[in-house]
Amino acid sequence: MRGEPMPLLSRVADSVYWMARYIERAENVARFIGVNLNLQIDLPLAPAQQWQPLVDTSGDAALFKERFGDATQARVIEYLAYDPENPNSIASCLRTARENARSVRETISSEMWAQVNAMYLQIQSQRSLPEPERMLDAFREIRMGCHHFAGVTDATMTHNEAWHFMRLGLMLERADKTSRILDVKYFMLLPSTKDIGTPYDDIHWSAVLKSVSGFEMYRKQFGRIKPADVVDFLVMDNEFPRAVRFCIKSASESLQAITGTPGGAFRCRSEQLMGQLRAELDFTSVDTVIRGGLHEYLDSLQLKMNGIDTGLREDFAVRVPVSTPGSFDAHRNA
Amino acid sequence: MRLDSYDTGGFYDEMFEAPGRPRPEAHFLLETIGGLGEGQLQRCQQAAERILVQLGITFNVYGDSAGTERPFPFDLVPRIVNAHEWDWIERGLKQRIRVLNQFINDIYHDQRIIKDGVIPEEVVRSATFYRPQCVGLNPPKGVWCHITGTDLVRHSDGQIYVLEDNLRVPSGVSYMLENRDLMKRTFPQVFEGLRVRPVNEYPSLLLETLQDIAPADTPGKPVVVLLTPGMYNSAYFEHSYLAQMMGIPLVEGRDLVVEDDTVLMRTTKGLRRVHVIYRRIDDDFLDPAAFRPDSLLGVPHLVSAYRAGRVALANAPGNGVADDKVMYAYVPDMIRYYEGGDAIIPNVPTFLCWRDTDRQHVLQNLDTLVVKAANEAGGYGMLVGPQSTAAERTAFAEKITANPRNYIAQPTLGLSRVPTLVGESLEGRHVDLRPYILYGDDIRVVPGGLTRVALRKGSLVVNSSQGGGSKDTWVLSPGAGGDQQ
């Protein structure tokens, strides 16, 4: 007999959400590093100019400065990929993802657990920076490991409430990171606005597209590389899976699947914020974005996504009145 | 691989009647192993170890700061139990669990067994795990010990004895299941020609057992959960594994709340009622309102909900009274008292230090006996006489004299051995056997168990915390290869 499915434990919802977010984060840090390694070959800049923006956008610049000094390739890669003290290094992301996965092994499939565990063991066994000739491959392998996880997740786990919480986490994280990759480009352009419209600019934008595996898909749709088109593609595209709008659309669908609220309505704070952001992306043109300043727009996007994240935590953790014994301490993983 | 130099070392060997003479049930397996090429067994063994790490099948080591997770060492050579012997073990275990269940129920109700002078009241009242909070409790269907993992050992005389009953929260069953999977993956050829009885029905039987005991007012299908102390508990792998295999939520204390004697769990859609809890938390930590007030792991007022019959707990709180090693010594008397007749599987002869004559004997023979604290588990609080130093014996003599109630002693058993891969050859290592018994509407024993093996040469301590590993346990079907009894 098929009954009403038991809703997910709030703690489990939180853990699967963060597990997915951290794996996606690990993948994106690998992408950040990959794009910069490529850029360095095509377009050598002074190390600080080349690598500092990565620390600025995906890490804690003050902490980095204090511990490592000036940005060089080796130091930034060490910090972003392997540093156990940087909570957002690839190694830390995979450790946190695994800890979360370990706490919900009964919810996810064995194959998913095995893959998270394998990625964790792999990066733990990496004792020093990869040799230069292995460098690009090393980060490609991390990306492929994350793809493997995504594939196993879709193919071995029921697309139930837990799966939707994972997709929510993944899509919000991805949207945030695509917007940050665009921001890295913005930061790198700052000192060299004179390059706009030159072949160097073309290399820059191509690198950004490649870093989100978007180069080929962009070509099919737009042909020549033009900054406005790249922004249009990465922010406003409705079909490219790493575009911000696509991600928010998917996240919003998962949220609806979780709450059962019909489209175009909301019953809780996170749904309201998600709906507003989705509508904004649906009805904003790229010209407006560029006229108002890309960096400012991306900043506001990130703030809105943080608001959704906070809303999710409040909407799905059951709070028990203080008078009841054992009142609930919100469990935070991040 | 050559087996003709294998030395049984004067112990009872589970595979060999005598050096060079395999037991009938081990014949096929030994032939297969004998036919393996150079190094093949080691390669299978290494493959198995890699799989354990990849799958994260580990236990957490308490008090070990470097790397908290470790795989539980696994040895590829299985332990075999023939059909005839298993049949006897199964009957013995069922008898024992039936009687122990009656005993626990009696202790928390009329205490007839005390009134009739079979067991001194003093012994019951002083048992560390006796819980006055449980007096008068009526667990669903009168079952207290739903899941038991009885430890059996075979002595040099060839006799199998019950060593411990483990009626509280026995662990290890996940390794029984994983060991079989691991064997099939890494060493499939050895199953040929033998009819090894499957163990993989265990999670289904466990789920049925848990559903059987749901409170009477459960509407439709009961909501069953597994309560774990959390990720840092040594048996966490097992908790998540069993929850996964049964398809039930794995909950922590903080996921549950009790309102009006109803246990509820915090879900994304609000609070939902829970009917049955397979708890893997000791009594002491289960409910700070009933037991230890400083427990952060448990659920306040859980025992009150249980007492009101609104939730079922497996195992029932209070079972520990029968886990006391002094009470263990009385199990044959309990069997005679409640059911008549003798224990099918005998006890190890046990000296109770609170009896003056027993204590004198123990103190004079510390170098040949094994002394155990009445309420410790995991191989802790134990003196193995023949392997002890004079200083250790003096220290134990003082402890015994100071608190005789807390100590028992038994002859040092020459635990039977099973060939075990050591480097490139097979050597005998001592084993015990922990079958798992489920008690819901019926009592059921899964044909198999966890064979723990003391991997250190000469060691008799099989606990995972003290250098123990495990082996797959093969119970053969009647009439299967080599079963001629």
B93-144 pLDDT, tens digit per residue, is: 999 999 999 999 999 999 999 999 999 998 898 888 899 989 999 998 899 9
The beta-carbon neighbor of A6 closest among B220, B223, B254 is B223
The sign of the CA dihedral B387, B393, B396, B397 is positive
Quickly tell me which residue has 């604290």 as its tokens. Answer: B373
* Contact A5/B at CB under 8 A: no
- DSSP bridge pairs for B312: B276
Q: Which two tokens stand for residue A121?
A: 């063991």
B56: contact with A, CB 8 A cutoff? yes
Mean pLDDT of chain B: 91
Is the CB of residue A111 less than 8 Å away from at least one CB of chain B? no
Looking from the CA of A15 toward its CB, the CA atoms found within 13 Å total 20
Q: Does the distance separating the beta carbons of B265 and A9 come in below 8 Å?
A: yes
Q: Which of A157-166, B328-337, B474-483 has the lowest mean pLDDT?
A: B474-483
Chain B contacts in chain A segment 56-85 (CB below 8 A): none
Report domain extents, chain A: 9-157, 166-317
Contacting residues for B439 by C-beta, under 8 A, at least 6 apart: B97, B101, B143, B145, B146, B147, B148, B209
pLDDT at A90 over 80: yes
* Mutant choice from B267, B276, B280, B295 vs A, greatest count of A C-beta within 10 A: B267
Whether A161 has its CB under 8 Å from any CB of chain B: the answer is yes
Question: Region B341-362: what's the mean pLDDT?
Answer: 94
Pick the CATH number of B349-412 from 3.30.70.2860, 3.40.470.10, 3.30.1490.270, 3.30.420.40: 3.30.1490.270
Kindly report the nearest CA distance between residue B435 and chain A, in angstroms: 24
B427: tokens are 């050597």
Q: In chain B, which residue's Cα lies nearest the Cα of A110?
A: B55
Residue whose C-alpha is closest to residue B432's, from B321, B334, B369, B348: B348
Mean pLDDT within B478-484: 61
Report the gap between the CA of A243 and the closest CA in chain B (Å).
29
Residues of chain A found within 8 Å of residue B220, distances taken between Cβ atoms: 3
Q: Label residue A42 by pLDDT band (50, 70, 90).
A: confident
Helix or strand run (H / E) with residue B409: strand B407-411
Which pLDDT tens digit goes with each residue over A207-262?
A: 888 888 999 999 999 999 888 899 999 999 999 999 999 999 999 999 999 999 88
Residue contact B244–A110, C-beta within 8 A: yes
The lowest-confidence range among A154-158, B72-76, B293-297, B448-452 is: B293-297
Min Cα separation B304/chain A (Å) = 13
**CB contact (8 A) between residue A324 and residue B257:** yes
Q: Judge contact between B43 and B448, C-beta under 8 A.
A: no
Find the CB nearest B266 among A114, A258, A328: A328
Show the 3-state SS of B281-317: CCHHHHCCCCCCCCCCCCCCCHHHHHHCCCCEEECCC
Touching check for A320 and chain B: CB below 8 Å? yes
**Searching chain B, which residue's CA lies closest to the CA of residue A1?**
B221
d(C-alpha B1, C-alpha B30), whole Å: 10
- Whether the CB-CB separation of B422 and B440 falls below 8 Å is answered with no
B396: distance to nearest CA of chain A, Å?
41
Question: Residue B480: what pLDDT?
Answer: 62
Cβ separation A11–B266 shorter than 8 A: yes
Predicted structure pTM score: 0.90
Residues of chain B with CATH 3.30.1490.270: 349-412
pLDDT of res. A64: 92
